[in-house]
């Protein structure tokens, strides 16, 4: 089994990784706080990936010994693959996500496998491993073997949180099985339900602040395109209503709240009510949303373009350039004075730090 490298916990990295392995219309977004406002503009959220400094738990939490067959849970048996494994734990547990033919076949083939065998099977996904390793950091020297972490090292770990058949699961490949965090009531938002569990976990680490939380969501460019089509259809429909067109300006002073794009029932009720003033307000709202959609799309395209450029820089090997530059400095007899000057500055800083 070929090795896997450690990769950076970054939404741009994970989004490109997802796209490279054949998953369609999915992106990753970083969350800076756990709140309704953070989730509001990102829905639907398929799962959360949590990065934290690993430490042995004081008490072992109960896990499912015979989990639902449709729940994909793999034990982590591959070193450094926990980031990609956390991604797969979310992607493969949502049938509505188009994961591509290869991952779909993998999901079906491994359905009856125990967790350890599923973990081993991930290592056979060459396309996934190659995409993962494409984000390896260039090293000036390639070690013959990987050094094992010691008790003094900071070891970081990725886990996934997902909703599945009315339950909230924590999927941690270092655990024997999936952990059920709670059961969802009818129409209960799983994000609100999982929030206390993540907050409790963060608080249990005391002064540790090195955490990272990312949401696996629908590609926001696709969402904007879909909503724009819907806004356009509503504008055309509302514009054709004679009661809206015949409404005088002075009659258009009624205060009302427009119906949101996701509220189809509310929109149909609005049409049925046929209140001219409300219809006019809704038309103004839909037109404004169309303008806002274009602005949002430009911002999203800029962000994806920025991610692409950042990933190019991540993958580029700057080491030959640095080595060549050092050789030129040495040839010009400038390297040694620069090193001596840097050493003197280091000593001065250390002296000031002691005082």
What the chain holds in terms of domains, given with CATH numbers, is 11-138+152-218 (3.40.532.10), 222-314 (no CATH), 319-349 (no CATH)
Res 252: pLDDT? 52
Mean pLDDT per 10-residue section of the chain, whose length is 355 residues: 84 98 98 85 94 79 89 95 96 98 97 96 96 86 53 73 97 96 93 93 74 95 97 94 61 72 93 88 95 98 97 90 91 92 92 81
Given strand 179-183, what is the order of strands in its sheet? 26-31, 212-218, 45-53, 156-164, 167-171, 179-183
Marked catalytic residue, from 5, 63, 157, 197: 157
Question: For residue 153, what pLDDT is reported?
Answer: 44
Tell me whether residue 231 is one of the annotated catalytic residues: no
Tell me if residue 82 is catalytic. Answer: yes
User: Cα dist. 84→76, 180, 242, 267 in Å?
Assistant: 11, 22, 55, 41
pLDDT of residue 243: 63
Tell me the whole-structure pTM to 2 decimals: 0.85
Report the relative pairing of strands 26-31 and 212-218 from DSSP bridges: antiparallel
pLDDT of res. 143: 55
Vertex 261 angle, CA 46 and 216, to 5°: 15
CB contact at 8 A, 91 and 132: no
* Structure confidence by residue, pLDDT tens digits, 151-205: 544 578 999 999 999 999 999 999 999 999 999 998 899 999 999 999 988 887 7
pLDDT of residue 152: 44
pLDDT of 1 reads 45
Query: What is the pLDDT, as a whole number, of residue 186?
Result: 86
Q: CA–CA separation, 22 vs 103, rounded Å?
A: 8
Sign, Cα dihedral of 89, 106, 156, 14: negative
């Amino acid at each position: 089994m070929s090795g896997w490298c450690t990769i950076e916990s970054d939404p741009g990295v994970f989004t490109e990784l997802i796209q490279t392995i054949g998953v369609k219309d999915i992106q990753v977004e970083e969350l800076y706080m756990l709140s309704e406002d953070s989730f509001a503009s990102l829905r639907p959220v398929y799962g959360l990936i949590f990065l934290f400094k690993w430490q042995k738990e004081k008490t072992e939490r109960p896990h499912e010994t015979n989990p639902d067959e449709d729940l994909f849970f793999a034990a982590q048996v591959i070193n450094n693959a926990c980031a990609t494994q956390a991604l797969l734990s979310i992607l493969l547990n949502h049938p509505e996500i188009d994961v591509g033919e290869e991952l779909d076949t993998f999901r079906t083939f491994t359905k009856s496998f125990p967790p350890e065998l599923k973990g081993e099977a991930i290592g056979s996904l060459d396309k996934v491993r190659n995409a993962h390793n494409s984000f390896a950091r260039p090293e000036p020297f390639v070690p013959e073997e990987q050094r094992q972490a010691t008790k003094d090292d900071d070891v970081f770990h990725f886990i996934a949180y997902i909703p599945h058949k009315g339950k909230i699961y924590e999927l941690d490949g270092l655990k024997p099985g999936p952990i059920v965090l709670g059961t969802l009531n009818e129409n209960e938002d799983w994000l609100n339900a999982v929030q206390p569990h993540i907050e409790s976990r963060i608080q249990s680490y005391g002064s540790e602040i090195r955490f990272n939380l990312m949401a696996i969501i629908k590609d926001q460019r696709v969402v904007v395109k879909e909503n724009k089509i819907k806004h356009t259809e509503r504008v055309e429909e509302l514009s054709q209503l004679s009661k809206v067109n015949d409404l005088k300006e002075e009659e258009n002073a009624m205060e009302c709240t427009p119906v949101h794009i996701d509220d189809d029932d509310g929109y149909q009720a609005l049409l049925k009510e046929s209140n001219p003033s409300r219809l006019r307000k809704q038309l103004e709202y839909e037109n404004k949303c169309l303008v806002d959609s274009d602005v949002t799309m430009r911002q999203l395209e800029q962000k994806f373009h920025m991610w692409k450029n950042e990933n190019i820089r991540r993958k580029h090997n700057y080491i030959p350039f640095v080595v060549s530059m050092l050789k030129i400095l040495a040839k010009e007899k400038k390297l040694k004075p620069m090193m001596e000057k840097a050493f003197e500055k280091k000593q001065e800083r250390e002296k000031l730090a002691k005082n």
